[in-house]
Structures are given as C-alpha cells and as structure tokens.
Structure 1
Amino acid sequence: MRVVFIDATDRTVSQVEIEPNSRELARLCGWSAPLKVVITLPNGDVLLSAEGDPSVPGFSIGASSTFRSGAVLLGKRDRWRQHTAPRSEAERIAALIRWVAANPGEGDKREVVQAILIDPAQRTIEASASSGR
C-alpha cells in the first residue's frame, strides 16, 4: 500500500510502498517507542508518530504541536479495521508542514533547588541553592 512518510531529520515528505503493519512501520521510521495516532485530518487520514526527543529536529502540521520523530500518514480504517491508503497526497502534506529545528537545550533541563535552614537554637537563617545535576 502507498503511504506518506514524513522524515523530520531529512526534512522530506515522500510516498512509499509498504505493508502497513506495526513491524513494517517501525522498520521504516526506526521507532523504538510505541506508535500512536497524533492527528486525524478532516478527510479521515491519520498521522502515526512516536514520542520524540526534543533535542532532534521535528515538524508540525498546520497549528498542531511539534512532533520530534518521523511519521506515517495512513488512510482511515475500512470495515475490517485495516488502514486504507491515505487520500492526501505527499505534495499537499508537504505544503502544510512547518519544519522545526533541533533544540538541544530542551533535553538538558536543570533544576535549581533553594533551601532555607532555620536553626532557632543558634538563631541563624541560612539560604543555599544547588543545581539539579
């Protein structure tokens, strides 16, 4: 079946021929995380993606949130609950995509913890800050 593959790393949108089962989709996209439907388009097409790392490039479609992994567009399910070919063409999807650069600082968040020590016996108040790492 023909599906639309969105490669966030290479910033490409293409049509590929695959058998749309979980193993084949994971092989195509290199996913290790489980797939989930992240967008359903008005024509019934669904976009499958996995949870991605904020430190890698991504994309958004229209006003959607940012997806930080590759994705596959499939058609809606038929009466046997199998996905059909998508109605949307790769060129149309490419026109809707906004590419998002990697944000390496997002993956390395540090917390600052501030502690205040009050010792009534010694009548002291001390404040200290420490980094999360």
Structure 2
Amino acid sequence: MHLSGAILLLTFLVPPFWMLDAGYTTPPGDPTADAPFLLLLAVPSACVVFHVLVQIPAGLLGTWLGGSRTTPVRYGSAVAVAGALSLLLFWSVGGNAWGSIVPAWADAMARGSLGLAGYMWVVRVLPGSARHRQG
C-alpha cells in the first residue's frame, strides 16, 4: 500500500485545477497572499487522508472481491470500491454542492486509480503478496 500512496503523491507533480486556482486568488499586496504556500501542507495531508480512507480499503476489498480472478477484475473491483468511498468522502466534506464535488472527485479518482494500479501490480508480481496468502 505504500507504493499506491507514493504514486498518489507523485501525481501531484502535475497540480490539479483547484490548486492552480487557489494560487492566483489573492492579490500580491494582500496579507493572506501566503495562502498558496499552505497548499504545500494541505496537499500531502489530503493525500494521506485519501490514501487511508479510500485507497487502502479499496485495494484490500478489490483484492478480496476479485478473489482468484484476473488482475483486471480485481482492479475493476478496487476502482469501483474507490469510486464509492471517495464519493462518500467528498460528499461528507463538501455537503450538497454537487457542482464542486464532481470535478474534485473525478480528479481524485484519476490520481487514485494510478496508485491502485501500482498496488494491483505488486499483488500480482510479488511472491508472498495477498494473492498467494489467499490460496
């Protein structure tokens, strides 16, 4: 699961749209102009929360639900679980503002699915992984 978290964090090398918007919302003379630097703390914190509440349970449930089936079935199961968990997470944080939830959810799912792909690769390749322990 550490690989999926590292991949998630590395995806932020290409900043999401909300980060770019937040970086240019304050004028330079405003005392709150340092707010973009808070994103350096907010992004890793959001990655940790998303990793713990969405990626880890989705990877484990996807591996379990996929059973001894092929890796694409497991990956599909993991992405479906991640989609449901992340939508629930964004809905609980964002309230009923579906217009702002859906773009952020789609961005998080795109980034999270790359991390889940890394986890599914580890489960498939490494001996002693979850697949071999199930058997």
Same fold (TM over 0.5): no
**TM-score when scaled to structure 2?**
0.24
Q: Which structure shows the higher helix fraction?
A: 2
**Larger relative contact order (CA 8 Å, sep ≥ 6):** 2
Superposition TM-score, scaled by structure 1 size? 0.24
Whichever of the two has the greater Rg, that structure is 1
Larger strand proportion of the pair: 1
